[in-house]
Amino acid sequence: MDHKPGFLKLVRQAKKNIKESSVFKVKKKLERGERFYFIDVREDHEFQNRSAKGALHLGRGIIERDIEELVPDKKCEIILYCGGGYRSALAALNLKKMGYQKVFSMAGGIKAWLKADYPIQTEKRIPVGNKKVR
């Protein structure tokens, strides 16, 4: 996707104020059974097509509205991802502004996850933002 300069500037500013995690670190956390929220912030149709194995879904358009229901404890670790790490950086910044203390954006997003050949899920699931867990 060809991103416009204004959007890229916004993302660069956000990335200066958030933390990122590599796909390798995220996969290792999952393998070790560490407790954290792994959230896909892409659009519903992107999530339904394929997502990282173990991920929940709260789309970028509703995450700020619904995150406190899914993650009421603002000290819990949250790792967000999107297609390439841009939307998740913006979402991470907003969650940080909302008081979440351990929020990360997964660098490279689902593209980096797929490139690393990490496990995906393709079955149809209901987004968490629709008040039902997969």
How confident is the model over 71-103, as pLDDT tens digits?
Answer: 999 999 999 999 999 999 999 999 999 999 999
CATH class (in words) of the domain with range 20-130: alpha beta
pLDDT computed for residue 128 by the predictor = 65
Of the candidates 86, 95, 108, 96, the one whose C-alpha atom is nearest the C-alpha of residue 15 is 86
Contact criterion met (CB below 8 Å) for 52 and 119: yes
pLDDT computed for residue 33 by the predictor = 96
134 has pLDDT over 50: no
Neighbouring C-alpha atoms within 13 Å toward the C-beta of 115: 11
Contact criterion met (CB below 8 Å) for 26 and 106: yes
What are the φ and ψ backbone dihedral angles of 19, each rounded to 5 degrees? -110, 145
Tokens of 54: 């173990």
pTM over 0.75: yes
pLDDT computed for residue 130 by the predictor = 53
